[in-house]
Structure 1
Amino acid sequence: MEFSKIIEPHCQMTAETVAECEVVLCVGDTTFLDYDNIVAKKEGYGPIGKGGNGLILHSALAIDPEIGQSLGMLWQKVWHREPKQKPPKDETPEQKKKRQAQARYEARKRPFEEKESYRWVEALTTIESSVSKSTRVIHVFDREGDIAEVFDKVRELQHTGVVVRAAQNRSLDPNSERLWFKLEAQPISLRQEIQLPETSKRSPRKAKLEVRFCQVNLRTPYRFDNRDPLEVYAVYAIEIDCPEGETPVEWMLLTTEAVTDASMATTIVRWYSYRWRVEEYHKILKSGCQVERYRLAADGMKALLGFLSIIAVELLHLTYLHRTQPDTNATELLNPLEIKVLKAKSPKLPKVLTVAWAVEAIARLGGYLEHRHKTPIGIQVLWRGWLKLHDLCEGWQLAKET
């Protein structure tokens, strides 16, 4: 079964869920899945990173704009790069220079739809057509999504907007003034605190930001048929009083949403801070579901990836609900059969079945040791427990039918 056939029903369910929202965020990101240890089944995989071999996955995750809770996947795409031809063994430095120049020229001439960067625009158009017209979808991208085609496509769409972290100090019309210079000249409009999650490069902390904003016109590249300037708003956030040893936050955010007051500027910064949800999702997919440990042929791996991607969405929802709303009723997380199975497997039941109880019960199914209360529940334990819960529910249903 193809990856797209597996993930599409989940994406359709998510689209139906967000149809009830006036505004929904869609955070996008790309991750590399490394299968370099596969020797006999390399066909269908391709080069990634520095000498790696594997698949590339792009995820578009729906997020509640008020509390940052994940709502499900709206779109996903998986692909592989074609292996590059090895250069001739007797190639001279001059020949190598000419070959590389020719390769760059051919890359520039390729249609945009054939380039990897097209995935950012593909997400916009695909989700616009799948989500209810009563819902405005705001896509949130990191610097990799800062391409002119994104802003150009948005002005063609009716129910889509973007918040993109700028990667380029763009030229502004009409006098070629630069983006950073213009925003640095604006007065500080507000100060805002945001919670920064832990990453491989920093500890979790609250960051104090000084925020400036104004409207800007981005110069349109000459390759575009529509040469009108791209009218957007820029929100520039810089961290103050950054702890020693940490890198201060500096976000230049470009958005199609009208930022005319401090309240909306605050909203844009908060929306961008939710972008880490998709990074957390990819982390769960890799460290929890251990998607890179399998050794399958590419077609089989892509099919398995479809199933694991959906499970990772469920685990993200579960862990975030446990973190932010542990006292919420367990029915917000589980269906009646899942609750019935967990009750049957639990040695002692609390008076109220909460999300916290449900997560701990699932963790016990995955091997979590109850007496080690100070040990946090890990994502691998939840992954194993979640799978076992699904197996038990399936067994319960089969027993009931026979």
Structure 2
Amino acid sequence: MTAENVAAQDLVLCVGDTTFLDYGSIVAKKEGYGPIGKGGNGLILHSALAIEPKNGQSLGLLWQKLWNRESKPKPPENETSTQKKQRQAQARKEARNRPFEQKESYKWVEALTTIENLTSKYTRVVHVFDREGDITEVFDKVRQLKHTGVLVRAAHNRSLDQESERLWSKLLAQPISFEQEIELPQTGQRSARKTKLAVRFCQVNLRTPYRFDNRDPLPVYAVYATEIGCPEGETPVEWMLLTTEVVADIQTASLILRWYTYRWRVEEYHKIFKSGCQVERYRLAAEGMKTLVGFLSVIAVELLQLTYLHRTQPSAPAIEILNPLELKILKAKSPKPPKLLTVNWAVEAIARLGGYLEHRSKTPIGIQVLWRGWLKLHDLCEGWQLAKET
């Protein structure tokens, strides 16, 4: 459905990210789950979220992958420290020699190829990845695809086509082209703030590793942004962005920075998925859980669209986020619906279905109350449809 919706777009962004779903407290139904993080047990979810490039609104999911890792065999009893080192070295060697398609990092390339085949050939899709997606296979695959581009935050100080030159030193040698203000959202490592970035950019050629058959350099553009006047106690922002899009002027470099900030949408999506839909609270066998994750994924996208429009365009018509039947049900459940049905009214009406207390006007509408209201609205719509059919 999302692929059909974006078919009318000339350009769409696709932000990708991976999250862990922890079901460590499940004891009786552990088969089908696997190790995650530090001693956890659960599933791994990778999401590719389509984003409208002008305003950053979510358009839906283009692709998802859900899997579990295999548990490692227990070490032999009475293993000596020397034997342990030998066993671990052998395991690392086997991991390095595995085909790329069998590694978890293949998800980045798999997203590129799957979405290329899924979307219209008239729609250009630019994938936006954080540092985990900075692998040579991504850039190599993009040069084989016809209507796919990529924007990745660099994790490695790569060697360029000139042997003595590295990525960071190349960009630091460039003059500052412009300054740009951006809004940084709150995370576990920093508080929300507005900041100013000094921006440099130029074209670079990434050296291709020997493991590739095609050793031609990978031509990309680098946009390097560093924070000016970082507040005391905060870590300064430093983004080295690599893109296959042509960055020939200040306007395009500024656009690349804005596109990268949209990557936070997929983090918001995963947050809604966990805190709103509460996907980690269910206690199902793995196969049933994987089915439920697919169902909840769609609802989480709808909630992301709802909360974003409520934050950015509260006066927009409610029909932008609800269908006619949903509006009809909400009007019937509201004591005094206004003549102009706005996004703000719709969100408050859905929240009331979820138990939001209006007299607590200073209490913000939380994602959990929206989740409960959204489910109730869907139940009411389904009941109306069933009554109509009978």
Please, what TM-score do these two structures have when normalized by structure 1? 0.96
Matches within 5 A, 1:300-315: 300-315=288-303
Q: Which amino acid aligns with 1:287?
A: S
Residue aligning to 1:8: none
> Number of paired residues?
390
Residue aligning to 2:74: 86
Q: How far off its partner does 1:57 sit? A: 0.2
Using CA pairs below 8 Å that are at least 6 residues apart, which structure has the higher relative contact order? 1
Q: Which amino acid aligns with 1:126?
A: T
Residue aligning to 1:9: none
Q: 2:146 aligns with which of 149, 158, 162?
A: 158
Q: 2:359 aligns with which of 366, 371, 378?
A: 371
Q: Which amino acid aligns with 2:386?
A: L
What SS does structure 2 have at the residue aligned with 1:171?
coil
Q: State the Cα deviation string for residues 181-223 of structure 1 (Å, max 9, x = none).
A: 1101100011001111121222211120000001111110110
Q: Which amino acid aligns with 1:119?
A: K
CA distance in 1, matches of 2:214, 2:283: 47
Matches within 5 A, 1:328-343: 328-343=316-331
Q: 2:236 aligns with which of 242, 245, 248?
A: 248
Q: How far off its partner does 1:241 sit? A: 1.3
| Aligned residues with identical type, % of pairs | 81
What SS does structure 2 have at the residue aligned with 1:200?
coil
Q: How far off its partner does 1:296 sit? A: 0.4
Q: 2:35 aligns with which of 16, 25, 47?
A: 47
Is 1:175 paired with 2:163? Answer: yes
Q: State the Cα deviation string for residues 122-172 of structure 1 (Å, max 9, x = none).
A: 000000000001110000000000000000000000000000000000111
Residue aligning to 2:337: 349
Q: Which amino acid aligns with 1:228?
A: D
Q: Which amino acid aligns with 1:268?
A: I
Q: Which amino acid aligns with 1:352?
A: L
Q: Which amino acid aligns with 2:93?
A: Y
Q: Which amino acid aligns with 2:25?
A: N
Is 1:74 paired with 2:62? Answer: yes
CA distance in 2, matches of 1:32, 1:231: 34
Q: Higher mean Cα deviation, 190-199 or 136-145?
A: 190-199
Is 1:57 paired with 2:21? Answer: no
Q: 2:248 aligns with which of 257, 260, 268?
A: 260
Is 1:320 paired with 2:319? Answer: no
What SS does structure 1 have at the residue aligned with 2:181?
strand
CA distance in 2, matches of 1:180, 1:203: 27
Residue aligning to 1:3: none
What SS does structure 2 have at the residue aligned with 1:208?
strand
Q: State the Cα deviation string for residues 261-288 of structure 1 (Å, max 9, x = none).
A: 1111001110000000000000000000
Q: How far off its partner does 1:176 sit? A: 3.6
Q: Which amino acid aligns with 1:401?
A: E
CA distance in 2, matches of 1:235, 1:179: 11
Q: How far off its partner does 1:295 sit? A: 0.5
Is 1:219 paired with 2:207? Answer: yes
Unaligned runs of 5+ in 2: none
Q: Which amino acid aligns with 1:24?
A: V
Residue aligning to 1:107: 95
Q: How far off its partner does 1:85 sit? A: 0.8
CA distance in 1, matches of 2:75, 2:164: 41
Residue aligning to 2:282: 294
Q: How far off its partner does 1:89 sit? A: 2.2
Q: Which amino acid aligns with 1:302?
A: K
What SS does structure 1 have at the residue aligned with 2:25?
coil
Q: 1:190 aligns with which of 178, 183, 192?
A: 178
Residue aligning to 1:20: 8
Q: How far off its partner does 1:175 sit? A: 2.0
CA distance in 2, matches of 1:39, 1:206: 45
Residue aligning to 2:260: 272
CA distance in 1, matches of 2:303, 2:79: 51
CA distance in 2, matches of 1:146, 1:276: 17
What SS does structure 1 have at the residue aligned with 2:104?
coil
Please, what TM-score do these two structures have when normalized by structure 2? 0.99
What SS does structure 2 have at the residue aligned with 1:309?
helix
What SS does structure 2 have at the residue aligned with 1:214?
strand
Q: State the Cα deviation string for residues 48-93 of structure 1 (Å, max 9, x = none).
A: 0000000000000000111100000000000000000111121111
Unaligned runs of 5+ in 1: 1-12
Matches within 5 A, 1:138-149: 138-149=126-137
Q: How far off its partner does 1:174 sit? A: 2.3
What SS does structure 1 have at the residue aligned with 2:233?
coil
CA distance in 1, matches of 2:232, 2:344: 36
Moved beyond 4 Å, runs of 4+:
none
Q: Which amino acid aligns with 1:56?
A: I
What SS does structure 2 have at the residue aligned with 1:203?
coil
